[in-house]
């Protein structure tokens, strides 16, 4: 299977994808994968929050998790790629920062997102349509979710990893929206158009 295959079908495709990510990280194919600067939206959002417990899902090599942890967040970071988590752990050691870094395939529920545990949940540049409910339930009432996905360009169909512009915000129906943006990526590590959402879980 190739990266361009358009399918929403399940777990086989996703496991192949993790193998591809492992290869890409091991070969250090793209400098952006080892970008130290965090996602701009994470900085803009977290700057206004009191540090608590953060979960970074599909964290890659950990630019956001490390930045949060360095600012006092008790941070857990999860990615399916062993190579990504190895790179994250190495950086954390070098910087003397503590991050609870886990290898887990999120499509196989290898990491259980505990309900109401997290003050902040990140799902940046990772799309798993059936994960939104667990992520939303994972943050405490008043907690915040930051989600960023790549979006289609005019004429393109959605794929396993891309939504149509406007589809991301629909996952947060009923939640106060703190930030919503659709358009060119504001993150130097990404070139495709994006949709960004920051939403707060309503108080019970």
Ligand X SMILES: C[S@@+](CC[C@H](N)C(=O)[O-])C[C@H]1O[C@@H](n2cnc3c(N)ncnc32)[C@H](O)[C@@H]1O
185: contact with ligand X by CB under 6 A:
no
60: contact with ligand X by CB under 6 A:
yes
How much is the CA Rg of the chain, to the nearest whole Å?
16
Judged by beta carbon, residue 13 or residue 53, the one nearer ligand X is: 13
| Residue 44 Cα distances to 40, 68, 131, angstroms | 6, 12, 24
147: contact with ligand X by CB under 6 A:
no
82: contact with ligand X by CB under 6 A:
no
List binders of ligand X among 17-46 (CB under 6 A): 17-18, 21, 39
The minimum distance between CB 164 and ligand X, in angstroms, equals 19
Left if phi > 0, otherwise alpha if psi is -120 to 50, otherwise beta: which for 138? alpha
84: contact with ligand X by CB under 6 A:
yes
107: contact with ligand X by CB under 6 A:
yes
Of 171, 158, 192, nearest in space to 121 by CA: 171
- Which residues 6+ apart lie within 8 Å of 145 measured at CB? 120, 121, 122, 123, 135, 136, 139, 172, 197, 198, 199, 200, 201
Judged by beta carbon, residue 133 or residue 142, the one nearer ligand X is: 133
131: contact with ligand X by CB under 6 A:
no
The minimum distance between CB 130 and ligand X, in angstroms, equals 11
Q: Which residues bind ligand X (CB under 6 A)?
A: 14, 17-18, 21, 39, 58-60, 63, 79-81, 84, 105-107, 124-126
């Amino acid at each position: 299977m190739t990266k361009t295959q358009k399918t929403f079908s399940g777990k086989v495709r996703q496991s192949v994808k993790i193998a591809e990510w492992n290869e890409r990280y091991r070969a250090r194919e793209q400098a952006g994968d080892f970008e130290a600067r965090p996602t701009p939206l994470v900085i803009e959002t977290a700057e206004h929050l009191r540090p608590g417990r953060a979960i970074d899902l599909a964290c890659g090599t950990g630019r956001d998790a490390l930045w949060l942890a360095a600012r006092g967040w008790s941070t857990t970071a999860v990615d399916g790629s062993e190579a990504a988590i190895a790179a994250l752990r190495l950086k954390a050691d070098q910087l003397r920062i503590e991050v609870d870094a886990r290898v887990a395939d999120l499509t196989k529920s290898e990491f259980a997102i505990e309900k109401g545990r997290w003050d902040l949940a990140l799902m940046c540049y990772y799309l798993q349509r059936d994960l939104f409910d667990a992520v939303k339930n994972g943050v405490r009432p008043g907690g915040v979710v930051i989600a960023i996905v790549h979006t289609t360009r005019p004429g393109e169909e959605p794929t396993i990893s891309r939504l149509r512009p406007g589809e991301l915000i629909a996952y947060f129906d009923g939640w106060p929206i703190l930030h919503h943006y659709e358009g060119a990526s504001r993150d130097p590590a990404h070139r495709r158009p994006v949709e960004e959402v920051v939403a707060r879980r309503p108080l019970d």
